[in-house]
């Protein structure tokens, strides 16, 4: 039976930030699978310090969520989206030009990027959640704020704040999230 010890844990505090070429922020790459240059999925946390364009990633699907700060306004060719630290995740194409304007000072943001696979990323903010996942699914949970319990097959765990937990399931599993603020990522690939 699956236990939390079967998941890989990456603490944000253990990942050194890499400065952007344009000087507008930094990125902490939590996981790039299977490697950092030819990845299928990539999860990272970015600190945005100034307004500017997002880098383009041709052929990549992207998800974005504000973790801390007053928020951002993302300007796409066809729409403008304002996001704060409690708002739902936004999904967009890495092909699309996107200009980011800070609402009121720097933000900390979570990014999921995938290519060639299907994925979803959802913010679960203190609402109770329960779902069955099948073997072969790659799951990730990023703890946005501490508190609550994660229940795997009826075994309860407390997760560390500002940490990413991820695993490719070897068997079906039921996951319940009780009173937690997390980002839940689900991907269909053979990690």
Quote the CA–CA distance of 153 and 6 in Å, as a whole number: 13
Q: Could you say which of 73, 97, 114 is where a domain stops?
A: 114
For residues 136 and 167, membership in a common domain is answered with yes
Q: How confident is the model at residue 103 (pLDDT cuts 50, 70, 90)?
A: very high
CATH of the domain at 23: 2.60.120.10
For residues 23 and 90, membership in a common domain is answered with yes
Quote the CA–CA distance of 156 and 149 in Å, as a whole number: 6
Q: Could you say which of 96, 114, 132 is where a domain stops?
A: 114
Q: Fill in the DSSP letter of residue 39.
A: -
Q: How confident is the model at residue 22 (pLDDT cuts 50, 70, 90)?
A: confident
For residues 107 and 18, membership in a common domain is answered with yes
Percent of the chain with pLDDT over 90: 90
pTM of the predicted protein model: 0.95
Residue 2 lies in a domain: no
Q: Could you say which of 114, 147, 179 is where a domain stops?
A: 114
Compute φ and ψ for 149, nearest 5 degrees: -135, 140
For residues 130 and 154, membership in a common domain is answered with yes
Residues 77-91 have pLDDT tens digits of 999 999 999 999 999
Residue 43 lies in a domain: yes
For residues 143 and 182, membership in a common domain is answered with yes
Quote the CA–CA distance of 13 and 128 in Å, as a whole number: 28
For residues 109 and 18, membership in a common domain is answered with yes
For residues 141 and 128, membership in a common domain is answered with yes
For residues 51 and 93, membership in a common domain is answered with yes
Q: 26-35 long-range contacts, Cβ below 8 Å, gap at least 24? A: 27/111, 30/142, 30/164, 31/140, 31/164, 31/166, 33/191, 34/191
Q: Are 140 and 43 in contact (CB under 8 A)?
A: yes
Count up the domains in the chain and report the number.
2
Residue 73 lies in a domain: yes
pLDDT at position 46 is: 97
Place of tokens 């603020």: 181
Half-sphere exposure of 148 (CA within 13 A, CB side): 20
For residues 50 and 83, membership in a common domain is answered with yes
Average pLDDT, the chain: 94
For residues 123 and 103, membership in a common domain is answered with no
**Domain extent for 183:** 118-188
For residues 110 and 125, membership in a common domain is answered with no
């Amino acid at each position: 039976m699956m236990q939390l010890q079967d998941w890989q844990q990456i603490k944000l505090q253990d990942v050194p930030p890499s400065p952007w070429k344009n000087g507008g922020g930094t990125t902490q790459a939590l996981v790039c699978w299977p490697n950092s240059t030819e990845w299928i999925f990539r999860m990272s946390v970015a600190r945005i310090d100034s307004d500017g364009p997002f880098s383009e990633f041709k052929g990549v699907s992207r998800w974005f969520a504000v973790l801390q700060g007053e928020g951002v306004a993302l300007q796409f060719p066809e729409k403008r989206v304002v996001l704060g630290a409690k708002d739902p995740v936004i999904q967009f194409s890495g092909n699309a030009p996107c200009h980011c304007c800070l609402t009121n000072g720097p933000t900390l943001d979570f990014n999921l990027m995938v290519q060639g696979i299907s994925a979803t990323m959802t913010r679960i903010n203190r609402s109770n959640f329960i779902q069955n996942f099948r073997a072969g699914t790659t799951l990730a949970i990023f703890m946005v704020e501490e508190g609550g319990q994660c229940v795997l097959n009826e075994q309860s765990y407390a997760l560390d704040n500002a940490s990413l937990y991820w695993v490719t399931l070897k068997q079906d599993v039921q996951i319940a999230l009780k009173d937690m603020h997390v980002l839940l990522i689900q991907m269909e690939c053979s990690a």
